[in-house]
Structure 1
Amino acid sequence: MGQLDPGAHREVSTPTSDKGSPRTLGEASDFVGTVVDHSALKVNQTGIVATVLVAFAGSALYQPLLVLIPLLAIVLVLGTFAPRLALFKQLYFKVLKPRGIVKPRPVQDRPEPHNFAQGLGGVFLAVASIFLIPLPVIGLALSLLVAVLAFVNLAFGYCLGCQIFFQLERRGVLKPS
């Protein structure tokens, strides 16, 4: 079995040697899992929802709060390619987990679908940022879409970005990891 504690600053541990059941229906049956701390994912989703809601609601009173949308886009895209730059996950690993505020929840899972979903959210927020000045309704709608999808994942465990990843992988657009 792989280690259950991925370390202080890592979302993913070593691969497990046991064949596990896939997390989502339709995945390969010979899935060899990696342990992913789902608490880090939940903190990340909470940060996304909170940031977009503060930007959306707060902008009615103070327009400059909309700058949170492009900043969040940068954080998500950078965190997708460099996990040490994933702000909300680092908050979990460096503050919340060590103090026992949020307990770890290791799950046999693959990190790639979650990273893809995070990157996709970052891209949508980047596009939203472009629209915030000329067409704020479109920019805010795209931002709220990202927040709603993060909330659906947080509350119900359904990750649309992960499903897109699996479909792209199944069709050969993405290489299986």
Structure 2
Amino acid sequence: MKVSSSKNKIDINALKFNQISISTGLLIGFVFNLGYVPILIAFIMLLGSLVPELSLFKQIYKYILIPFKLASPNIVEGTSKPHTFAQAFGGAVLVISSIFLFYGEAVTGWAITWMVIILALANIVFGFCAGCFIYFQLGKLGVPGFSDN
């Protein structure tokens, strides 16, 4: 695995497509009461956080949407660490949601899932990434591993 500096180029549209895919998948799961969807999305999110090359939604964006001109990159200078943390955090929250759904606590499970949906939509619509905010706050508190350096 190649280690790069924390400052790099990120594609904002890839991040947005990722958020749209997460939200859409979870909404479909909720509407059709498919209790396995949150754990499936959690798996996709956690795998993509641990091994970015295996991020399903980003691969769809890169190898389908861009070549077929259904989307275009919006490259900016930045660090991917906060976004990776946010995705992993959201995946962990969906694991918790899935545990509630598995044990028949549908209201609690879907309520937790809705928190992820709402925060993903806030990122898409307003550009506010709650997981990134947590990442930067942890950095300000001096927690190891949460800095731009």
Q: TM-score scaled to structure 1, two decimals?
A: 0.77
2:75 counterpart of 1:75:
no
How many angstroms does 1:33 deviate by? Answer: 3.7
Identity of aligned residues (%): 38
Note the 1:112-123 alignment, pairs <5 A.
Answer: 112-123=81-92
Secondary structure of the equivalent of 2:8?
strand
Report the counterpart of residue 137 of structure 2 in structure 1.
167
* Structure with max Cα Rg: 1
How many angstroms does 1:107 deviate by? Answer: 1.1
Structure 1 moving runs of 4+ over 2 Å? 174-177
* Larger relative helix fraction: 2
Pair 1:97–1:174, CA change in 2 (3 A) = farther
Secondary structure of the equivalent of 2:102?
coil
Q: TM-score scaled to structure 2, two decimals?
A: 0.91
Q: Take 2:144 and 2:32, find their aligned partners in 1: how far apart are those partners?
A: 39
Q: Take 1:168 and 1:84, find their aligned partners in 2: how far apart are those partners?
A: 26
2:115 counterpart of 1:141:
no
Note the 1:118-133 alignment, pairs <5 A.
Answer: 118-133=87-102
* Structure 1, unaligned runs of 5 or more: 1-13, 16-31, 60-64
Secondary structure of the equivalent of 1:104?
coil
- What is the root-mean-square deviation in Å for CA atoms of aligned residues? 1.4
Choose the corresponding residue for 2:75, options 96, 100, 106.
Answer: 106
Of structures 1 and 2, the one with the larger relative CO (CA 8 A, separation 6+) is 2
* Larger relative strand fraction: 1
Report the counterpart of residue 56 of structure 2 in structure 1.
87
Count of aligned residue pairs for this structure pair: 143
* Structure 2, unaligned runs of 5 or more: none
Choose the corresponding residue for 2:13, options 21, 26, 39.
Answer: 39
For 1:160, the aligned partner's letter is A
Q: Take 2:50 and 2:7, find their aligned partners in 1: how far apart are those partners?
A: 21
Report the counterpart of residue 57 of structure 1 in structure 2.
31
